[in-house]
Structure formats: C-alpha cells, structure tokens
Chain A
Amino acid sequence: MVMSPPSLPKTNELGFYEMRFDSVGGLGANLAGQLLAQAAVLGQGLNGAHFSSYGSEKKGSPVKSFVRLGPPDRELRTSNPVDRPHLLAVFHHCLLKVAGTLSGLYPDSILVVNVPDAVDDVRERAKLPSGTLAVLNALDIAVQENTRINTAILGAIVKASGFLDPSAVKEAIANSFGKNHPDKVKSNLKTFDRGFNEVKIKEFPFDGRFEPIPTTRYVPPWGYANAPIGGIIINPGNTVLKDLSASRQGIFPLYHRDRCIDCGLCAMTCPDYVFVWDRVTDKGGHTNMVLRGPNLQYCKGCLKCVEICPVEALTEECERPEFRFTGDPQLWGPIEALVDLERDNEPAKWPQEEGAWWRRVG
C-alpha cells in the first residue's frame, strides 16, 4: 500500500534529502541503503536513487552507500555521490577517526553511529560541532539476534530521520530475506525494531566547542604535472607503506616464540608475506633462519598459519576491543576499482562472519 508521500524535513538546493552510509566492506551498508531507498520509493511514494562507491580491496576497505530522496514529482537527474548528507550513518565507530568521514555535514545534519559508547562521549570523539547525534550498539544487537548490524542500524536511521516509515522498511527487509532466507525474516525484523527502539538520540546546538566540518573532495597527490608518464610506477614495492590491519575481522594469529620450532610452514602458507625471519648464527657457527614473528601491519587474519603450524606456536586470538585502524586511510590508495556488495544478502554474524561478499574489478 502506497501512502501519501511524506514531506521531506530538509532538502538541498536541488530539492533532495540525501544520505550517506560510511562503512567498511562486509558490514552490509550497500544492502541497507538499497532496502531503505526501495522502501522510501516503492513503499512511501517518494522519488529516489541508491548506489554505492567501489573500492579496490576486499574486507576492511572503505565503502560508501548513497541514498537520494525527493518528492514524487521531482525528476532525479544527478548520479553523483552524496557530498553533503542530511543524514550520515557511520557503520563502524572506528571510521570516526578516518579523515573525511564527517565531510560535508550541515550544522543540523543527523549523525548515526554504531558504537557502544554514550552519546555525549561519542560527540567528543567525533568532534561534532552541532547537529543531531544518534548512537546505538548495533553489534550487540546483531550478536544477540544472530543477524547483521546493518538491519539494526537501519532501525536507528529510520527513527532518527523522523520521516521514513518503519513499516515500509520492514516490508522491504521481509521481502529481501523472504526470497532466499525465509527463516531469517523474523530475527531481522526484530533486529530492526531493536535498532529503532534502542537508539539514543540527542541534539547538540552549536556551542563553539568544535570547528565546523569542511566539505572535502579527494584530489590525488599525483597529477599531470608530477606523475610519471604512462602510468608507470617508478617506486614499486611501495605497498609496504599500507596498513592492512583493518582487513582483519577482529581475529589475529598470536605468536608464541617458546613453542616455535622454526619450521617455516607458516611463511610458506601465508598469503600476505607477514612473517619476519632473522638469520642467526649459533654457537657452533651454523647459521639458520629463526622466526621473529608476524608483522601484523599486513596480516589479514585468515588464520591459514594457525591451521598449518604443527606445534600451536600460533594461536587464534580476538582483537579487543575492536578493529584497529592504525593507518592513514589514504594509504589504501585511490578508489579505482569496485566492490559490489550487491550479493551480500547473506545474514551472518559479525565480526566473525565468513567473508562472502562479491567483488568485481576489471
């Protein structure tokens, strides 16, 4: 049943209410955006669009999902990413640290954050000058309901938005899961409701405590004047500058030197060339290779090494309390390829989910 379309609380100069979901690959931001936009368009009778950004790397790479909504008779023409969101949802609070996450917020935008902390603390962390802040612990909900965080965050977004219709979104969720996972419909609807009900919302008027947030667009440091011609990279091997710790889904291999027999099997099996070895000369004058340990900057947490180690010198450990975003996100490189989260409608537990989303490049 299409009801009469709601009026949008705010719009930009083109007449649209725009949302951006800043996320990490694998958390389901693409599907969330899609369900939300579909509900607003087909369920609430608005006009709208949904699309996602695409990064070249897999788990842990930044993903943005965009929703643009307008009155039913407003023609939708632009296909550009959302630079100035009226509502920004941050799917993992570690992204708050990443430069550019809050880019483009209006003074009265709504910021939804998946975070276990209290709303006042989150404002401090985000350095939010003003606006509405909505926080929820989506991870807890998802773990308890055996669903995914995206559904809980959807509930929070709908509540915070003030104009999106929860029943339309729930219908979209039910349809989406109903096709392939009818057994998951109930738990996902409950997850949505919990997100809707448990989100804590607080308004912060501008009090001068934090600087207004600028709107930034990425400009590559390499341009026509300084990049070597032909697209040639003259300093290869420079991926060592990257920090891939964010690719881990909360688990890492812990090295126990005392148990290690330096067999070398972990090094042979590791896809990410993580293990560092020293050439050591013993008292008898024999030199041999001795494992110093894994350099976790590059470890993606696949645990192949834990599986292969014959003496349990590597064990599976949880990274607590959370993902570690240790690096400068620019080191992830420019967004020149594509991550298609389209197929990622498999509900799974996070953070230990089996990586089953689809990537297509080239």
Chain B
Amino acid sequence: MLAHEEQTRVKAPAQVTAFKKGNEMAVLAAKQINYHIMGYYPITPSTEIAEELDELYSQGQIQTKLIPADGEHGAAGICFGASTGGGRVLNATSANGLLYAMEQLPVQSGTRFPMVLNVVTRSVSGPLDIRGDHSDIMMALNAGWIILLARNPQAVYDMNIIAVRIGEHPDVRLPVIVATDGFFTSHQKRRVQYFEDDQVVRDFVGQPHMPITSLDPSQPVTIGAYMNDPDLINNKYQLKLAMDAAERLLPDIFAEYGRLSGRTYPLVEGYRIEDADATLFLLNSAAEAAKDAVDKLRSEGHKVGVLSPNVIRPFPAAGVRRRLSGVKAVLIADRADSYGAHGGNMALEVKAALKDDPRNQTLCLSRVYGLGGKDFYTEDAEQLLKTAMAAAELGRVEIPFDYLGATAGDSQVRPERVQAPLRKEDVSQGLVKAEWDEEAGKVKVSGAGPRQLTAIPDRIAPGHGACPGCGIFPTLSQFLKGIEGHVVLLFHTGCGMIVTTPFPYSSHRVTYIHNLFQNGSATLSGLVEMYRERARRGELPGDEITFIMVSGDGGLDIGMGPLIGTALRGHPMIVLEYDNQGYMNTGHQLSYATPLGDATSTSHPGRFQSGKTFQQKDTPQIMAATHIPYVFTSVEGLATDLVRKAAKAQWYVRHGGFVYGQTLSVCSLNWRYNERIGTKVVKAAVDSCLFPVYEIENGKTAITYDPEARGKRIPVSEWLAMTGKSRHLLKPDYSDTLHALEQEVERRWRRLKAMHEHPLL
C-alpha cells in the first residue's frame, strides 16, 4: 500500500502550495484551462473572478476574451452563442444574477452545449442581502445543468477542472455549474495546492472536441429548431440519459483526477458515518464545519457523522441511500427554504432517495439554517447533531421541520418615528417657478438661488453611509429642491440605494421603493398607473404625487429595455440617472457609460489593453430617440441649472409626459482624486465637452451651458489628468486610445452644436 502510494507520488506532477481564497482558485483554474470566451456581469461575491481574469488578460497571461454583458441575461446569451461555436466558455454569477440568467439555462442544456458557470452562492433578493446562502443555487436544480459543489477553496480549483471534463464528455455534453459558498469559501484564504505546470491541467481537460458547431460552413446545422409534442419529451429524455451518464462517469473522472492530484472526491462524502446512529446531511462549507462537531461528539462516545455530496445534479441518490441504510436518524439542514414544502430541497431529495429503499427505517428531520449568510458555528452543528441523536434514541421525530437561528427580537423595541413626515407646504414654497411660454414654445423657469433654496427641506435625511465626498447626494439634493409637493422615490440597486437603506435604517423621509436595477422603470410605471386609476375612481386625491426613479448608469445598462418601454408608453414620471461612469457599488467595474480607456476593475490598463475598450454610451440621445417631451443633462456644480431643470421636468410630468435626465456624479472613492475638489472635477468634464450640459424639449435641442461660448473649454486630456481612473491615458503608450476618445468627444459635441442651431435636428 505504502509502496503504491510512493509510486503514484513519484509520477504525480508538481504542485505549488499557496494561500488563496475560493475566487482566486476559480481564476487559477480558468487561467490554466485558458477558456476562449467569458461572458459575465458583475455581482458580489462572484465579481472578482472576472476582475482578476481581466487583469491577467491585460498582462497577456491569458487569451480568454472577456465580454462585459449588459446584464446576466445578456451574459448567458453571450455564453450560449459562444458555446455553439466550438470553443470553451466560462461565466460566473450569484444570487439575482443567476435568476436573471435562469431563462437561458435550459436553452443551454436543452441544446446540449457544454460550458462552465461558477455560482458563488448568495442570498436571493429581496430584501437585498449580499451574503451567502443557497437560495440561488437551489433555484437551478431543474435547469438541466450538472451541479458540482466546491466545499473549500481547494475544491473550487479541482471542481473547475473536473467540470470541463465531465461536461464535454461525449456521452454527457451538458453545461456544468460549480457552486461555491459566497464569502465563506469565495473570500476566505486557505492553504491550497495547484499544478505548477498549466499543461497538466490542459492535458487533463484535453482539446475541446465539439462534434457540432455553428462555425463549420462545410457542415451546416440548425440549432434551436421548434419542437412540440410528441418530440420534446424525447429531447428531454436524452437530457435525462446524459445526467445518468454523468452519474456513471463522474466516479471515474474523480478517480483519475485523484491519481493526478492526490485529492479524491466521492459523489457523496461520508465523514465517520460507518457505524453512526445519527448524522447530518449538509452542503459545502457547513458540512466542513460540522466535521469538527462530529469529532467532538465522537470523543464523548456518540456515534455521529456527516454526509455531504460533492455533486447535487445528478443527485447521488444511490450513494445517499447506501450511506444512510444503517443510520437511525438523519437531519438534513438546508441553507435555503422551499417555502411551503415542509423542508428545504435537499431534505426533500434525501427523503425521496430513502423512500426507494423499502427496508429503510431512517428517521428524517429537516432544518433551515444560515439564511442571508448567518454564520453556522461548530456549536450549531453540534446542536443539530444532538437533535438528530435525540430522534435516534427516541425512535421518532418530534419536530419534523424547523428553522435554526431565527431570533424573535427584543419585545421592548418599537419602531419610533424620529422625523415627522414632510408636509406639502414645507416642500411647496413656490421658490422655483415653471410656466409655459407661448412665444418661445417651451417651459420657462425662474427661480431662487442657493441661499433661498436652503429653506426647502431635504427629502433625504443625513446619516446615510456614502463615502466622504460622494457626488450622488448633492446631485439628489439639488434636483429634489426643484420639485414641489409630495414625491415617491424609487431607487435602482446601486450605491444610492445601499447607503440610504441599511435595515433597520432609512434616510428617506418620503416614501421610497427599491427594485433591482433591471426593472425599476417598469415597477414605477405600474405604481404611477395605480395612482392615476385610484385617483380616477375617487379613492385618492389626484395630482399630488410626483414619481421619480433614481438610477445609476449601471442600472440603465441592465435596465435599458424596461426604461425604453416605459418611455415609449409615456407614463408621467421622471427618471433621474446619476452617472458616475461605472458600477461603483460592486467595486468599480466598467459600465457602458464608462469613457473609453478608463481603468476599472474589469478594464485594467496594461500592455495588452488600454483600459475600457469601447466608447461611452450616450444615454440622453438614446432616450431622445423615444421622442419623450423632455430630456436633460446637468451636473451639481452649475448652481441652479439642475434645480431649474427639475422644475421643468415636473411641469412636463404634471402635463402627462415622461422625462429622462442624466447628471454626471463624482465617485470620490473610485475615481481617485482628492475628494474635496469633487465639484471642480465634474465641471471640468463639462468644460471638456465630454459631458455636455443641454436639454431637448419637445424635440428641440438647446445647449444650456456652452463652455466654448464662455471661453472655458479645456482639452479632454485636462479632465483625464484629474482622476486616477483615467490619468494613465496621458502616457505615450496609450496615445491611440486618447486620440480616439478626443475625436469621439469632438464629433459628438459638433453634432450637438448642429442640433442646437437647427430646429429640426
């Protein structure tokens, strides 16, 4: 035995011992596999995978082409398209990202194109929670994908490599998910090993062999035919057979990988389970924690163990049945509930597996734990084991299903209003006036200066958690001072939302709603119409509330479709975008509004990439093409410009129109400049014409602040030099990018000037 081990060790390829977290291990595996394409969209806690791969790309360490999608649905589409082309494809996501991509998952599996998706598990909204539980991955159980579990950072690496092999196996040909516990594994550094030579991994996964591809004109194929009954059931039966094949083949692949690496993974792992009376069934990091509890109880003489699968699709039912055959009681703990099902999904599946053995007498208990990332301590595992032991001893189950770790709260605590609701008269002081000017054919606004405006109370209270110097809040304050009367706000997901509403706190003095940033416009349009309909029926006084949606620039990438739909339908409401040129809330990934060449965490400048690779999105012009009555842009620094545009926006809304406005808003954290000069930084963007300030009223464009006419125009490079995100563009290495940016800024500015001058443009 020893001699044999010695022998295999001699043959085994060299490995490096390192100290890395789960996400880093996913990156390492991806680097060694050298995928062709990665389509992705940022979402915590999976984002680091794309970020680090982008950095490697910028340094020339990988050739993987990374495609930043407009949302997870788009990312899944990119991956599907790419995978039909015969190369290797990677994606990574979490929580609502997985759900937003969900519709594409059966397309991928039903057409049988393999790829790998890292799901770094996180609690699904709402309420929004960024920490780890399994409510996302449990939703993917029926998608037709193989699901491998990675219980620790080492397994993240190993499973990512194994995923390619099993998914591409000719008898399988299915896409594969590798599910890792968000934060517990993705963000925890541990001692790990990886193959020193990338070639070892490349040899193990082999050359991609895709018998059918969309890129072989000599073999034209039709992918995605329309298929009703009686055919579809046969397609699905093929998928079922592929899952069966995967279950059959996985042990061999695991064994082969074990010979190579010294690390073996059974389909379902039993820890001290052989003679156990009571066991737990747990997934991933919690199963690891429970092993320590098992050791402790064993040392006290109790026969306990833990069972934990390394694969849940295919579900290793036979192994579960076999391992539990002699166990008196098993407690299946799920990190997600299947509401109303009297147990989490794993509980249901373990019970179903046992039912297939008519002799099985194992008692089953189901518990839900650790939702929203609540820690699962060794003591928690001990408590659960004791619950299972009690059932084993008693010979029956007292409480079949329950939650572990929900707390009742302090009965002495009552929510107390600390701020009186704003009265209509407080916020309707008539300081800014908007009136229709018949002669000019547009709305004319006159109004107060900063001093008078201080009389209008802010609708957002102090105490929010934004970074010092954040541009979102002066922008919102100024805009809202131009709005009279009652307001209902809807915020898209993003910094503005996160920092104003950390439960049980909220900075919003007026009614506020959050919906995820792909869907806020639709949500608010529904509310606007409910308001109008209830007012029409006499249930509410009409004409009193102004509805305003606030979104970041990122929210108008993923939420562009619903925004255009809302504009085309023309609901009377305002959409205000604070454009800070990136996904700041998730750590500064590029958005489509990020200027060409900017350094972000998904557009690293380096020898092989000069920052963001495509020009910034022109959202005001996209919105102008929906022919809504009023589109505007502004910044916080132009004294009362923003206030007046708000008043004008409200006039149009009161007259039945939809309004879109965009403001450039500094991000003091990620733009990297001295936070005290924020106002100067946005003004410089305006003076460089990178962010022109103008309005389009009933189709007529008017530049409202013309830096040329005022003799204030500065070169784009001057603005680029102000922030750390763009300063590198002044180096000679990046002169092509700088030139392309300057030219595009100039072209858009000239075009805008022409529109300003010509009434029909």
Q: Tell me the dominant secondary structure on chain A's binding face.
A: loop
B323 at the A/B interface (Cβ < 8 Å)? no
B-side contacts of A303, CB under 8 Å: 675-676
12 contacts between A and B (CB under 8 A): A79-B288, A83-B377, A219-B407, A222-B504, A236-B509, A236-B512, A271-B471, A289-B454, A302-B469, A356-B724, A361-B44, A361-B585
The segment out of A181-189, A199-207, A334-342 that lies at the interface is A334-342
B188: which A residues are within 8 A, CB to CB? Answer: 49-51, 79
Distance, CA A303 to CA B677, complexed state (A):
8
| A272-B473, A333-B502 known; A240 vs B461 contact (CB < 8 Å) | yes
Say yes or no: B463 contacts A241, CB within 8 Å. yes
Task: Verify A239–B131 contact, CB threshold 8 A.
Answer: no
The answer to whether A4 has its CB under 8 Å from any CB of chain B is no
Assess whether A56 is in contact with B502, with CB atoms less than 8 Å apart. Answer: yes
B127 & A231 in contact (Cβ 8 Å cutoff): yes
Q: Evaluate contact between A237 and B451: CB separation under 8 angstroms.
A: no
Contacts A236-B509, A361-B498, A362-B494; is A227 near B409 (CB within 8 Å)?
Answer: yes
**A58-B468, A262-B451 as given contacts; A273 in contact with B460, CB under 8 Å:** yes
Pairwise interchain contact A238-B505, C-beta atoms closer than 8 A: yes
User: What is the minimal beta-carbon distance from B296 to any residue of chain A, in angstroms?
Assistant: 7
Residues in A with CB closer than 8 Å to B187 are 51-52, 340
Q: Is A244 an interface residue (CB 8 A)?
A: yes
B406 at the interface (CB under 8 A from A): yes
A307 to B127, CA, bound (A): 39
Q: Are A224 and B409 in contact (CB under 8 A)?
A: yes
- Judged by a CB distance under 8 angstroms, whether B557 is at the interface is no
Q: Using a Cβ–Cβ cut-off of 8 Å, how many residues does chain A contribute to the interface with B?
A: 95
Q: A277 within 8 Å of B by Cβ?
A: yes
- In the assembled complex, which residues on chain A have CB atoms less than 8 Å from the CB atom of B455? 277, 279, 289
Contacts of A48 in B (CB 8 A): 19, 190-191
> What's the Cα separation between A269 and B642 when bound, in Å?
13
Q: A238-B505, A336-B502 are in contact. Are A267 and B668 (CB under 8 A)?
A: no
CB distance from A317 to the nearest CB of B (A): 14
With A58-B466, A234-B415, A338-B130 known to touch, is A51 a contact of B296 (CB < 8 Å)?
no
Give the residues from 238 to 283 in chain B that come closer than 8 angstroms, CB to CB, to chain A: none
* Cα–Cα, bound, A352→B465 (Å): 20
Considering the chains assembled together, what is the distance between the CA atoms of A307 and B672 in angstroms? Answer: 17
Contact between A223 and B410 (Cβ–Cβ < 8 Å)? yes
Task: Known A231-B126, A263-B450; judge A225-B408 contact (CB<8 A).
Answer: yes
Q: Is the CB of B587 within 8 A of A360?
A: yes
- A228 contacts across to B, CB distance below 8 A: 415
B353-396 Cβ-contact flags toward A at 8 Å (1 or 0)? 00000000000000000001001111000000000000000000
- List 9 additional A-B contacts (Cβ < 8 Å) besides A80-B375, A237-B417, A334-B504: A79-B184, A80-B378, A236-B419, A237-B419, A264-B453, A267-B454, A269-B474, A304-B679, A338-B130
* B189 in contact with A50 (CB, 8 Å): yes
Q: Nearest chain A CB to B196's CB is how many angstroms away?
A: 15
Given the complex, which residues of B lie within 8 Å of A242, measured CB to CB? Answer: 463, 505
In chain A, positions 222-266 with a C-beta closer than 8 Å to chain B are: 222-228, 231, 233-242, 244, 247-248, 262-265
Decide if A196 is an interface residue (CB 8 Å cutoff): no
A237 and B507 within 8 A (CB)? yes
Closest chain A CB from B380 CB (angstroms):
9
Contact of B468 among A54, A289, A302, A337 (CB under 8 A): A302
**A→B interface (CB under 8 Å):** 13-14, 34, 37-38, 41-42, 47-52, 54, 56-59, 61, 75-81, 83, 219-228, 231, 233-242, 244, 247-248, 262-265, 267-275, 277, 279, 288-289, 291, 295, 297-298, 300-304, 306-308, 333-334, 336-338, 340, 354-362
Q: Provide the residues of chain B in CB contact with A264, threshold 8 Å.
A: 449-454
- Which residues does chain B contribute within 8 Å of A37, judged by CB atoms? 19, 189
Contact among B296, B505, B509 for A13, CB-based, below 8 A: B296
Q: Which of B189, B503, B507 contacts A49 (CB 8 A)?
A: B189
Closest 7 CB pairs of A and B: A223-B409, A239-B463, A264-B450, A237-B419, A302-B469, A360-B587, A57-B465
B506 touches A233 (CB 8 A): yes
Say yes or no: B408 contacts A336, CB within 8 Å: no
**A233 pairs with B501, CB closer than 8 A:** yes
Q: Which residues of A contact B678 (CB under 8 A)?
A: 269, 302, 304
- Please provide the chain B residues from 418 to 469 with a CB less than 8 Å away from any CB of chain A in the complex: 418-419, 449-455, 458, 460-469
User: B197 at the A/B interface (Cβ < 8 Å)?
Assistant: no
Q: Which residue of A lies closest to B271 (CB)?
A: A77
Which of chain A's residues has its CB closest to B126's CB?
A231
- Indicate if the CB atoms of B184 and A239 lie closer than 8 Å: no
Instruction: Choose among B181, B463, B501, B668 the residue that contacts A244 (Cβ–Cβ < 8 A).
Output: B463
Minimum Cβ distance to chain B for residue A233 (Å): 4
- Cross-chain contact A236 with B506 (CB below 8 angstroms): yes
**Which among A76, A231, A240, A301 is the interface contact of B503 at CB below 8 angstroms?**
A231
Please tell me which one of the listed residues A59, A220, A221, A267 contacts residue B450 in the complex, with CB atoms under 8 A apart: A267
Are the CB atoms of B472 and A288 closer together than 8 Å?
A: no
Q: Give the shortest distance, in Å, between A314 (CB) and chain B (any CB).
A: 11
CA of A302 to CA of B678, assembled, Å: 9
**Minimum CB–CB distance for A361 against chain B, Å:** 5
Docked complex Cα distance between A154 and B416 (Å): 44
Known contacts A226-B410, A231-B126, A269-B679: A58-B189 contact under CB 8 Å: no
Assess whether B111 is interfacial by the CB under 8 Å rule.
no
Q: With a CB–CB cut-off of 8 A, which chain B residues contact A57?
A: 465, 499, 502
- B636 CB–A CB distance under 8 Å: yes
Known contacts A14-B292, A59-B467; A333/B498 CB under 8 A: no
Asked if A235 and B415 make an inter-chain contact with CB atoms under 8 angstroms apart, the answer reads yes
Closest chain-B Cβ to A155's Cβ sits at a distance in Å of 20
Using CB atoms, name the residue of chain B closest to A271: B473
Is B128 among interface residues, defined by CB-CB distance under 8 A? yes
Contact A362 B410 (CB under 8 A): no
Residue of B131, B183, B377, B676 ringed by the most chain A CB atoms within 10 A: B676
Which partner residue on chain B sits nearest A268 by CB separation? Answer: B450
Q: State how many angstroms separate the Cβ of A60 from the closest Cβ of chain B.
A: 9
Cβ of B218 < 8 Å from any Cβ of A?
A: no
B639-674: which residues lie under 8 A (CB-CB) from chain A? Answer: 639, 668-670, 672, 674
A88 to B126, alpha carbons, bound, how many Å?
A: 36
Q: How far is the CA of A228 from the CA of B414 in the complex (A)?
A: 10
Contact in complex: A42, B17 (CB < 8 Å): yes
B622 surroundings in chain A (CB, below 8 A): none
CA distance A187 to B84 in the complex (A): 54
A124 CB to closest chain B CB (Å) equals 32
Bound state CA distance, A239 and B463, in angstroms? 5
Q: In the complex, are the beta carbons of A359 and B502 less than 8 A apart?
A: no
**Which chain A residue has the least Cβ–Cβ distance from B287?**
A77
How far does the Cβ of A340 sit from chain B's closest Cβ, in whole Å? 6
Check A237 against B473 for contact (C-beta < 8 Å): no
Q: How far is the CB of B27 from chain A (nearest CB, A)?
A: 13
Partner of B502, one of A50, A262, A268, A334: A334
Measured in the bound complex, the distance between the Cα atoms of B21 and A356 in whole Å is 22
